[in-house]
Structure 1
Amino acid sequence: MYDTIVIRTYTRGRQTVLLSLCKLESEAKLKRFILTSNHTLQCPICREDLTYLHSTSSKHLKANSILHNLFRQEYVKEYDIRQSETENERKNIIKKRLIIGNRHQLLSYDYDYTRHEWTLFIKFENDHQKDVGQFIKQIIVNLHPTFVPSQIILDKPPFRLTRIGWAVFNISLSIEFHAKWNKSDLVTNWFLSFSDADTQKMMEIEFQKSTDNTTNNTVL
């Protein structure tokens, strides 16, 4: 059930052997073994102290290029497979910059009452092809409770909402993505601005293309 794994390194011309009595199938298992072991880490041949493999402050294994290279040589096939998987995942990642903001126009002004027209917008940067609808299914907008209705659902692009009011407030947003992206809802907020220029914030979102759904590649 258990194998003895012998890892050989060389320090100042001496052979250092680290023995592990658990079956180590990956470098991650070696890390877990070293970090969870209550035994003194010591070379069984030269008795060299190997406690440098521990990091007492962060409880993480310190980087060890020797072990890394040894495992890469020992598990060539596994490393190649994982590298291929990583490259494929990177190719299937779509990065989009989501922009949330509002435009504003002053309608009337007097001492007792001021009327402002504002338009909330949610879009992608450089959205010339208007593909935001391929990613976003709907957006739930929660306004100040004085608005009736105070909750509005935007279910198709362009995702905009225009209202008339007299003061700024915080707008709560819940953005739901299409199921094919397998992505959790994004909950964020936007504080309304009555400045003359358009105000906005930007965030980067990653989407993972499904390898099983070839239609994603043609649409995008």
Structure 2
Amino acid sequence: MISKDNYTCPICLGIFVDPCKLPCNHTFCLPCLLELVDFNFIQYKCPMCRNEFMNNNGPFKIDQEIQTFIQTHFKEEFEKRQQEIMISQKEKQKEMKIRVNYGNTYDYIEEEKNNKHLWSVYVTLDYINQYDQTTLNQIKLIDLIDSVTFYLDETFYPDFVVVRHPPFKITRKGWDVFSIPIEITFKKQYELNPIKLEHHLVFQQNGILKCQISKINAENIKKQLDFQNQQKQNAVQNKKVWKI
């Protein structure tokens, strides 16, 4: 009897769909691999053994022998899993990964008696790949932000600060490190969920820069941009009619 366990993806725990075997001989579904491996980098790691490989050969190659075997012996499960992946990919097409950069700068003030630490906490947003920026008409991600809220230690007054214009940062003096929850809220018309993160202050060297990959709904942004462009075109047409 053929065991299905030998043909199960360790990432999604479903039957292999478009199986790809890495140099370490671990096999995964192609959609699962593409979700975890970023080909913008020269190297990538196996999700199982964490061995690192050079990205010299371009996209992963599907193992057609394993694919044919699964289609023959696990036909119903394979077709069901295919449908699940198709539905999932349609939803993911609406999403876009962005890079949230955050951290703090730091200076030590020798002449101060108590609050010797001068720090600034900041947040910026970047595209991960150029294609997304082109799709969204070159809009700056920072322009999507309505406000960034920094929640400070209770010893500060006020103990939270809302910044509504770039640069999204705050500067304070203090005597010790602590964690600062940060909430990024987007402009209402884009219908995007807030991004929440937390930064622990670092009082060493010049501070620290961190990065978090987050997902936002690119489809909502595109709809709003198209609406804005249509309004501009209508305004231009109305001016032409008025002149006539």
> TM-score, normalised on structure 1?
0.54
Q: Secondary structure at the match of 1:99?
A: strand
What CA distance in whole angstroms lies between the structure 2 residues aligned with 1:119 and 1:151?
14
- 2:178 is equivalent to residue 169 of structure 1: yes
Query: Taking structure 1 as reference, are residues 215 and 180 closer, same or farther at Cα in structure 2, changes over 3 Å only?
Result: closer
Please say if residues 190 and 224 of structure 2, whose CA atoms lie closer than 8 Å, have aligned partners that are also in contact.
no
> Counterparts of 1:76-115 in structure 2 under 5 Å?
82=86, 86=89, 89-90=92-93, 93-109=95-111, 113-115=114-116
Instruction: Give the aligned partner of residue 25 of structure 1.
Output: none
Query: Taking structure 1 as reference, are residues 205 and 67 closer, same or farther at Cα in structure 2, changes over 3 Å only?
Result: same
Task: For structure 2, list consecutive stretches of 5 or more residues without a partner in the other structure.
Answer: 17-65, 129-137, 229-244
> Counterparts of 1:8-19 in structure 2 under 5 Å?
none
Task: For structure 1, list consecutive stretches of 5 or more residues without a partner in the other structure.
Answer: 1-48
Instruction: Give the aligned partner of residue 125 of structure 2.
Output: 124
1:61-113 CA-partner distances (Å, limit 9, x unpaired): 544955647569x99xx97xx48x947954x5433211111111222347x63
Amino acid at match of 2:151: N
Q: Secondary structure at the match of 1:133?
A: helix
Query: Taking structure 1 as reference, are residues 218 and 88 closer, same or farther at Cα in structure 2, changes over 3 Å only?
Result: farther
Q: Indicate the structure with greater helix content.
A: 2
Which of the pair has more CA radius of gyration?
1
Query: Taking structure 1 as reference, are residues 180 and 68 closer, same or farther at Cα in structure 2, changes over 3 Å only?
Result: farther
Query: Taking structure 1 as reference, are residues 68 and 174 closer, same or farther at Cα in structure 2, changes over 3 Å only?
Result: farther
Q: Secondary structure at the match of 2:197?
A: strand
Q: Secondary structure at the match of 2:142?
A: helix
Query: Taking structure 1 as reference, are residues 68 and 155 closer, same or farther at Cα in structure 2, changes over 3 Å only?
Result: farther
What CA distance in whole angstroms lies between the structure 1 residues aligned with 2:127 and 2:89?
28
Shift of 1:192: 1.1
Q: Indicate the structure with greater strand content.
A: 1
Which of these residues, 142, 150, 159, is aligned with residue 150 of structure 1?
159
> Counterparts of 1:185-196 in structure 2 under 5 Å?
185-196=194-205
What CA distance in whole angstroms lies between the structure 1 residues aligned with 2:145 and 2:167?
11
**Structure 1, 143-152 or 172-181: larger mean CA deviation:** 172-181
Shift of 1:159: 0.3
What CA distance in whole angstroms lies between the structure 2 residues aligned with 1:193 and 1:172?
14
